[in-house]
Structure 1
Amino acid sequence: MKRKAGVFLLIALTVALFAGCSRRKDEAPPHEALIFGATYMTRNNPYFNVLGQGIEEVVEANGDILLTRDPLQDQKKQNEQIEELIDEGIRMLFLNPVDWEEVRPALLACKKAGVAVINVDTVVKDRDLVISVIETDNYQAGQLCALDMMKRRKSADIVILDNPIQMSITYRAQGFTDAIAGNPNYRVVYRHAAAGEIEVSSKVMEEFLSQNKGFDVVLGGNDPTALGALAALQQARKEDGVLIYGIDGSPDFKAILDMGYVTGTSAQSPKAIGRVAAETAYRYLNGEPVDPYISLSSTFITKDNLAEYEIDGWQ
């Protein structure tokens, strides 16, 4: 019995020794996984899937958990989902709001529960209720489209398809209209909300085309909006001579750009936005100071410089 006990002791000591040696001296001990929440206005747009990947990669690399929700462009539903995430014990929320104003009840709920909020891609109205905003310079993105248009056209009648409840698109449209302000050669003849989605944009454009009004430029608030306008124009066989601008730099848009059916897009990197958002969250949780607003620059892409960018992916 003594010999068996000695063998068992030797085995136990060996296992303990190897267990201790398997962890480097400078390696942090395992920690209890933190739970993060993320909600995007819709997952119908692949842009938000890529943005989510940027967040998820950083969170998982830290051994933590990311719970995601899709409100399908419904702010009431998004508010309810955020309440659910709070109940599930999230420490931090990555928020891309459906409506920049109507998200306020969810922001107040987060504040009450002690859940910090990182605002991504499009800003909320109540900036004091979030610790940081990370987005592309949307105003610049709209300006770049206008500047390209003015190089191609000495005058133009313009259609703008925007989305007033989404501030990223509102700032893009503002950048565009400010760039042409005071120049009577450029006129906005129609402006309408298109929800930032292909199907809605196509229907809006179809309705406008039925009015038989002249125009020669379309600014889509994002790439899906521009592609929806293109679909309606092609259905009506009225796409010839129309300049079509999007904003995002999505793989789908770049593929259509390569075929010559659209004019240009102000590209952004959703993965970079997601990655910066997650890194900012960890700095905050570690007690480090964070910037209340982080803006990433936009790059203008046309068929002429498309070869510099990967068609099958986001830049």
Structure 2
Amino acid sequence: MELGEYMNRKVILTSAILAASAALTGCRVAEVTEEEHEPKIFGATYMTRNNPYFDVLHEAIENVVEGNGDIVISRNPCQDQEKQNDQILEMLDEGIEVLFLNPVDWETVEPALKACQEKGVIVINMDTVVKDQEYVSSIIETDNYEAGVQCAEDMMKRLDKARIVVLDNPTQTSISNRVQGFIETVEASAEGDNYKVVARKCGQGEFEDSADAMASILNRGIECEVVLGGNDPSALGALAALQQYHEDNGVLIYGIDGSPDFKSMLNLGLVTGTSGQDPRQIGEVAAQTAYDCLDGKEVKKYISITPYMITQENLDDYEITGWGR
């Protein structure tokens, strides 16, 4: 074999070996890259999925988590705290590292919180604050007290005096704080004596329960000029009952959420106003806070998001079919 031919063959063989080596190395790099990120499992539970607010909140969390290559599993306790506690234990058994929690009952969720602490699971508390805050890493919610203040201030601009019906939910701190903000604002005003709460009943934050609660109030012969719903479904439930009893004429109806359903009724002139919040923003902030916790970063214990008042007068500034500003 001629020297030149031998050298040519050697170059070709060397090139082939290098190419094969590179290909193998590339495979190994790809395999390592794929193995570098083992998906984390996040859990999420909301007091109900009967309110579209929580669907939008969950979607926002899901977008962030899945965008990071991780997994979200969720449960719906249907307003049953005992069921929610059991479902949280199930998710702990499934290996969650973070729990996004909106509790049914701010007090009796404690056993589940303790179980999370024992497992070293990070708890991000959303929308409704738990009583035992030492078990949670961060709380993200709209300033619910301010939401009530905004509704009260709007009402007092429209009426010099009023009989008021309140549909609340004592086990849900978000609604309790809204009602507190409303009532304390009225009482602190110079004309506070002109406004009187004539009935206060639990509507569970649900449309049907609130409609039944409002119907029972009307059946007792109680008259009112104003209804405060602890959230939009409560206010819309009250509207349905008032319409059924033909008592809706001239009654101011306030909700809190800024939901598309409420804004549609607002556009028709059937309700008065809602203090809006953005579940997408809450979900995104909650998800980012969870990742900061996982990365060992220091996070704020309490994150408050400012609400905004939506009425017929400024409805054009908002998208009726969507959430947020």
Please, what TM-score do these two structures have when normalized by structure 2? 0.91
- Per the alignment, residue 294 of structure 1 pairs with 303
Other structure's SS at 2:193 match: coil
Alignment match of 2:113 (pick from 107, 110, 115) = 107
Moved runs in structure 1, 4+ residues, more than 2 A? 5-23, 27-30
**Between the two proteins, what is the percent identity of the paired residues?**
57
Give the structure with the higher percent helix.
2
Provide, for residues 89-136 of structure 1, a one-character-per-residue CA deviation record: whole Å limited to 9, x for no partner.
000100000000000000000011111100001100000110110000
Note if 1:128 corresponds to 2:134. Answer: yes
Which structure would you say has the larger Rg?
2
Verify: 1:56 aligned to 2:56, yes or no.
Answer: no
Offset at 1:17? 6.6
- Give 1:120's aligned amino acid: M
1:119 is matched with 125
User: Which residue does 2:313 correspond to in 1?
Assistant: 304
Stretch deviating more after TM superposition (10-19 or 281-290): 10-19
* Deviates most, 180-189 or 265-274: 180-189
Measure, in 1, the Cα distance between the counterparts of 2:195 and 2:73: 46
Cα distance in structure 1, aligned partners of 2:23 and 2:34: 20
- Which of 208, 226, 234 is the aligned partner of 2:243? 234
Q: Given the alignment, which residue of 75, 82, 87 partners 2:88?
A: 82
Q: Secondary structure at the match of 1:224?
A: helix
1:273 matched to 2:282? The reply is: yes
Any idea what the Cα deviations from partners look like across 1:230-285, whole Å, max 9, x if unmatched?
00001111100100000000001001100000000000001100100010011111
User: Given the alignment, which residue of 262, 269, 272 partners 1:260?
Assistant: 269
Superposition map of 1:65-214 within 5 A = 65-182=71-188, 183-214=192-223
Q: Give the superposition deviation at 1:30.
A: 3.6
Secondary structure of the 2:91 match is helix
**In structure 2, what is the Cα distance between the partners aligned to 1:280 and 1:200?**
34
CA distance in 2, matches of 1:12, 1:76: 60
Match in the other structure for 2:23:
15
Provide the alpha-carbon RMSD of the alignment. 2.3
SS of the residue corresponding to residue 184 of structure 1 reads: helix
Paired AA for residue 275 in structure 1:
E
1:243 corresponds to = 252
Which is further off, 177-186 or 288-297? 177-186
SS of the counterpart of 1:291?
coil
Partner amino acid, structure 1, of 2:215: E
* Unaligned ranges ≥5, structure 2: 1-8
Task: After TM superposition, give the deviation of residue 61 of structure 1 in Å.
Answer: 1.1
Query: Partners of 1:83 and 1:220 in 2: how far apart?
Result: 33
Question: Residues 22 and 208 (structure 1 numbering): CA distance in 2 closer, same or farther, change over 3 Å?
Answer: same
For residues 9 and 58 of structure 1, what CA distance do their matches in structure 2 show?
44
Q: CA deviation at 1:213?
A: 1.7
Match of 1:220 in 2: 229
Secondary structure at the residue paired with 1:144?
helix
